[in-house]
């Protein structure tokens, strides 16, 4: 019973915080997949502007691996301005990451915004088995 009440309170607080702009407006999620049609396995970093009102600008994307590995993908140039509720994605081949972090790299991506905020990634567990890269 207490768990249900807590869940309801968290939901209502989430709505309130979102309405007044106290929630994180940018979400960063990561997954690994094959770059089709015949590309290598890659680590995909998805950046979503969750704000219904404000634009954000992504200036840097990197993976923390002792020495930071900056993702400089010519197919996904930076900086990138995201409209409200827009998503964008870039990738790096898994073989460009040190072997010791490949299995758990999902939480090691970082995204810097133009306002100097750095957002940490989380693993995206709900990726469809096939699809398109957002922001093409």
Domain hosting residue 106, numbered range: 24-123
pLDDT digits (tens, 9 = 90+) for 80-114: 999 999 999 999 999 999 999 988 889 999 999 99
Evaluate whether 13 touches 106 at the Cβ level (below 8 Å).
no
Residue 7 counted as domain residue: no
Residue 85 counted as domain residue: yes
Residue 129 counted as domain residue: no
Residue 107 counted as domain residue: yes
> Is the entire prediction scored with pTM above 0.85?
no
Residue 84 counted as domain residue: yes
> In terms of pLDDT, which residue wins out, 15 or 127?
127
Residue 132 counted as domain residue: no
Residue 95 counted as domain residue: yes
Position 20 pLDDT exceeds 70 = no
113: domain CATH number?
A: 2.60.40
Pairing between strand 56-63 and 109-113?
Answer: antiparallel
> In terms of pLDDT, which residue wins out, 66 or 28?
28
In the chain, the number of structural domains is 1
Residue 1 counted as domain residue: no
DSSP symbols for 71-128? ---TTS-SSEEE-TT-EEEEEEEGGGS-GGGGGGGGG-EEEEETTS-EEE-EE-----
pLDDT digits (tens, 9 = 90+) for 36-45: 777 788 999 9
């Amino acid at each position: 019973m207490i768990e249900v009440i807590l869940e309801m309170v968290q939901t209502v607080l989430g709505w309130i915080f979102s309405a007044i702009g106290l929630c994180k407006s940018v979400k960063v999620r990561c997954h690994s997949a094959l770059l089709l049609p015949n590309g290598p396995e890659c680590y995909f970093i998805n950046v979503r502007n969750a704000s219904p009102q404000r634009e954000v600008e992504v200036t840097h994307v990197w993976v923390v691996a002792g020495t930071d590995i900056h993702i400089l993908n010519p197919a996904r140039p930076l900086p990138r301005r995201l409209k409200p509720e827009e998503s964008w994605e870039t990738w790096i081949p898994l073989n460009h990451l040190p072997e010791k972090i490949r299995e758990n790299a999902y939480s090691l991506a970082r995204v810097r915004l133009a306002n100097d905020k750095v957002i940490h990634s989380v693993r995206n567990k709900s990726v469809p088995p096939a699809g398109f890269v957002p922001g093409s």
